[in-house]
Amino acid sequence: MHVLIAVDSFKGSLSSQKAGEAITLGIQRVFPKASTEIISMADGGEGTVEAIVYATKGEILKAKVTSPLGEPLDAILGKLPDGTVVLEMASASGLPLVPPEKRNPLLTSTRGTGELIRAALDLNPKEILIGIGGSATNDGGAGMAQALGARLLDREGRELMPGGGALEHLEKIDITGLDSRLQTTKITVMCDVDNPLCGPRGASAIYGPQKGADPEMVQYLDQNLARFSQIVLKDLGMDLKDVPGAGAAGGLGMGLLAFTGAKLKTGIEAVLDTVDFDNKLQVADLVITGEGRIDGQSIYGKVPMGVAKRAHRSGKPTLAIVGSIGAGSEELYNHGLSSIIAIVNGPMSLEQSMEKAFELTADATERGFRILQIPLRFD
């Protein structure tokens, strides 16, 4: 038996690699001669660089960038063996970089993400992959564009200050100084949401509150992003307001489309392609996937959904080992997932389950594989 293991991290307890090692231990308790291959997984958010670099045997590099609040910060990017460079905006402009009491999307900026892209361009990449999950910002990628050489000007011809609040004063976009290397570099954005830029499902309304926006601020930010999109249409000739994914990461999706010529792609699909998942799938008898919590939202571009769909197309059964099971998870059975097993084996707190996650994951996998030993006879 050869088992392909492709699980997301269990946030706060197990990395993708460690979860895979626990699953391998559980399998080999039942089938000692079974072989396994672990492919580190992510969907474009925090941990994407490490997962892809680990899976492809690449190299982690560091770059000095500006934090969402304007402070110096060390961010990471990955250089892969084939010349691709992968980065995640969470490393430069992510929500965990801003203390809860300082979260204010009127002020936070994506400048650091632009600086990280510039560092990637310095490596002469074949392609740049950018994961945009987990942002602290709502500036539409304005700071990112400024870091790459674009000028965002008010009616007096002055450069805009950082943050989503400053977009109220935007009058003109000047891209004559935009980094010319963007024109000759393929950029793929790993995005796991399809939100438009503005409106009830837009960046501000859906994600603004977790970044510190109250209802009044949400409305103001939404109006500012709408203004940004109008100036992009006027000065750059691109109508991006309603493009699915434009609202990802506080509107960074739109900014990347407008200023870098990027293409948006579902995060898990980009990761699976990068780690050569389909070829590795062909020699597998069984696939194991999983994440910290599986529920109805998992069908929208999360790791188990992406893995199960591809495995199903190849006729491979797929089992999910997960931290917990939420409402709507059964919908994944209609997309190729064969079964779901939660690691919790009795009453315990979330803290207890996270502390014992490795042992619990190995035990849950063992239970699942012992079922395979049951001889089935039908009359």
362-to-16, 30, 81, 231, 323 alpha-carbon distances in Å: 14, 11, 32, 54, 12
pLDDT tens per residue, range 91-100? 999 999 999 9
Tokens found for residue 3: 């088992």
Please state, in angstroms and rounded to a whole number, the distance separating the CA atoms of residues 152 and 106. 16
pLDDT band at residue 118, thresholds of 50, 70 and 90?
Answer: very high
Find the range with the poorest average confidence among 8-17, 263-272, 293-302, 335-344.
Answer: 293-302
The mean pLDDT of 50-63, rounded to a whole number, is 93
Backbone angles phi, psi at 292, to 5 degrees: -65, -45
Beta strands (DSSP E) in 249-350 are: 263-266, 286-290, 293-294, 318-322, 324-325, 339-342
pLDDT at 348 over 90: no
| Mean pLDDT of all residues belonging to the chain | 94
- HSE-CB at 98 with a 13 A cutoff on CA atoms is 27
- HSE-CB at 150 with a 13 A cutoff on CA atoms is 24
pLDDT at 377: 67
pLDDT tens per residue, range 189-227? 998 788 999 999 999 999 999 999 999 999 999 999 999
User: Cα 55 to chain center, whole Å?
Assistant: 16
pLDDT at 376: 66
The mean pLDDT of 261-274, rounded to a whole number, is 91
pLDDT band at residue 379, thresholds of 50, 70 and 90?
Answer: low
pLDDT tens per residue, range 174-188? 999 999 999 999 999
pLDDT at 337 over 80: yes
pLDDT at 263: 94
pLDDT at 296: 87
36-to-3, 311, 341, 370, 376 alpha-carbon distances in Å: 5, 16, 19, 17, 25
Higher per-residue pLDDT: 47 or 104: 104
pLDDT at 375: 78
pLDDT at 57 over 70: yes
* Token pair 């499902």: residue: 201
pLDDT at 194: 84
Q: Which of 306, 267, 272, 276 is nearest to 82 (CA)?
A: 276
Please state, in angstroms and rounded to a whole number, the distance separating the CA atoms of residues 229 and 150. 15
